[in-house]
Structure 1
Amino acid sequence: MIDRLETSADALWLTPQAPGIVRLGFADNGRELVGPVKHLTWQTQTGRVNLGDPFLMVEGTKETIVLRFPLAGRIKQINPDLVAHPEWLDTHNDARDWMVDLDDE
């Protein structure tokens, strides 16, 4: 299992959604590292988070990684459908492979 902040930074994309809101999603580097995704486990789903806090464990056919927040903030929302559809992380689709929205409050 890989559990390093720098791995998380490579495995994520970040996109502003609204003033103060940033969306985190699964990037191509993450897909290459883990292979087809088999299972997801949320490490946290609500509240304030700090840089480096774990938020999602992604288990793939090649590797398992623990994704950590690349910035601090408050969780505004998580993608509630990801656990039921971990295969959504296998292909790039910003509407489906997003993970969490963070508010910088």
Structure 2
Amino acid sequence: MNKKIALNIFIGFCVGIIANFTGSFLYLQLFSKHPLEESITIALQEDVFGNIIALGAVLNLAAFFILLKKKRFYRARGVILATIVAAILILVSKFY
């Protein structure tokens, strides 16, 4: 694989991970009455942490379409890869 292609996919992956963390953080800040650390602890105890990750992944959709509109197709593939990683994390959190 060409180094430039791999770098673009990696950049897209990083954009997807950052968008997912940002979406999860915003959700916890807007809809939680507790501080961030306590909200994460409560989410883990109540087994809803996967749902928070899934809601955070909604920002990946915006990042994906922005990258497609700018014709950054390999970066958009990286965002899809980050979304797949988030889905695997959700799956693990549900069954573990």
Asked whether the two chains share a fold, i.e. TM above 0.5, the reply is no
TM-score normalised by length of structure 2: 0.33
Could you say which structure has the higher helix fraction? Answer: 2
Could you say which structure has the higher strand fraction? Answer: 1
Greater C-alpha radius of gyration: 2
